[in-house]
Structure 1
Amino acid sequence: VCDGVDTYFIADELLRDKLTTTSDIQATGIPVRQQFMIKHDKQKCREFFGWDENERVCLLMGGGEGLLPMSEIITALQRAALKNLRVVAVTGHNEALAAQLQAKYGATAEIYGFREDVPQLMAGADMIITKAGGLTSAEVLASGLDLLIYKPLPGQEEGNAAFLQQYCGALVARSTDELVQHIKNSTVSPREAAACNEHAHPLAAQQIVDYVMQRLQK
């Protein structure tokens, strides 16, 4: 909290009481890319990527640098032989990881490097295994995916994971065995889906800009 700040834009209304300030507070959510504002057709996205309607598509994403032990996770998922599960790993700018995964799992999983169409991948998929970073979490909530958080880091990520688990139906796994069990049992109730939608803010960027422009005009 800094002197002289007129307005704080925060990630969620439930965080308002965490900020001790007399400044204006707007609970807009975290800004995400414009493509997440669009409601992509799930079936069309699945057809584009060649995913069968009977498959459960599981994304593995660790941000732009692929910061997720993807080899360890893919090995565990394949060892568990989960029925109709398609694993899609997106390594971001980590080309070395993409090459490593392609060599080891290219015949049994989809391996991508950096992609511009992440909103479409998320729209077509059923679940995502990822870290609990703020931006990724905001994108997942905007997309309505089942969220599985793997080994959140102490501090900010653990706080994010606890919030997402309590209010958005996210599942947190601290081992591959726990992760596999979550996927075996994963079903999102209508109540949890509604809660997830309540905390999704795909229009955050637009709302922030609108608010700033109104303040400037005054």
Structure 2
Amino acid sequence: MGGAYGVLGGIKKMCQLLADSDMPVQSLIVCGQDEKLYKSMDGIVAEAKNPMHLFGYVHNVEELMAVSDIIVTKAGGLTVSEALTRHLPMLIYKPIPGQEEENARFVQRIGAGLVVETEEELEETVHRLLNNPQEIEQMRQAAAKALPGKAAEQAVKYIFELINECPESISGAK
């Protein structure tokens, strides 16, 4: 998944790799609003050894994530947070410097995904993960641990604790 504008580089090569794979794998390819990419994928999808489903821009990302074992993606904040919420392991390809790079480091540091920088590394990592479902499961468990349960409730409790610690001159009436 390359974001709304399909900016994940190397997506065609990755899809070709999955299309040619002898491993039983089903792929959901989200091109976002990149119509050129979408059209260029027709041949790959039509000749794939394994089931491939091609999507343009979608409004049901959470449903696609719910039926996925892993996501190959860029490290946009929304995608990363949605994947963590779904406990979906991430394979992040060539994160963009800045926010996405930091998001990718975070994902890798907590064990919820891996970061790859080259097409060769991407191919090797996909094959390794497909052959090692226990590694995918470890990333899934790490993603589950990354988000605290009842986060909204905990945030409200913490805010009230902060308010109660403030002197009356700062917090006003308690």
* TM-score between both structures, scaled by the size of structure 1: 0.60
C-alpha deviation, 1:209, in angstroms: 9.6
Matches within 5 A, 1:47-86: 61-69=1-9, 70-79=11-20, 81-86=21-26
Distance 1:67 1:84 in 2: 27
Partners of 1:169 and 1:195 within 8 A in 2: yes
Shift in alpha-carbon separation, 1:166–1:210, aligned structure 2, 3 A:
closer
Distance 1:100 1:173 in 2: 24
Structure 1: gaps of 5 or more residues: 1-60
User: Deviation digits for residues 163-188 of structure 1, max 9, x if unmatched?
Assistant: 11111331111122211221222243
Secondary structure class of the residue paired with 1:85: coil
C-alpha deviation, 1:73, in angstroms: 1.7
Query: Counterpart in 1 of 2:169?
Result: none
Partners of 1:138 and 1:200 within 8 A in 2: no
C-alpha deviation, 1:202, in angstroms: 8.6
Shift in alpha-carbon separation, 1:73–1:96, aligned structure 2, 3 A:
same
Distance 1:94 1:203 in 2: 37
Task: Specify which of 27, 33, 58 is matched with residue 93 of structure 1.
Answer: 33
Query: Counterpart in 2 of 1:178?
Result: 121
Task: Specify which of 64, 87, 90 is matched with residue 144 of structure 1.
Answer: 87
Q: Which protein is richer in strand relative to its size?
A: 1
Distance 2:54 2:33 in 1: 13
Secondary structure class of the residue paired with 1:144: coil
C-alpha deviation, 1:207, in angstroms: 5.5
Matches within 5 A, 1:88-167: 88-102=28-42, 104-107=43-46, 108=48, 109-167=52-110
User: Deviation digits for residues 117-156 of structure 1, max 9, x if unmatched?
Assistant: 2111100011110001111100011111121000112222
Partners of 1:168 and 1:199 within 8 A in 2: no
Shift in alpha-carbon separation, 1:66–1:202, aligned structure 2, 3 A:
farther
% same residue: 32
Partners of 1:92 and 1:114 within 8 A in 2: yes
Q: Which has the larger radius of gyration?
A: 2
* TM-score between both structures, scaled by the size of structure 2: 0.73
Q: Which protein is richer in helix relative to its size?
A: 2
C-alpha deviation, 1:87, in angstroms: 1.8
Greater RCO (CA < 8 Å, at least 6 residues apart): 1
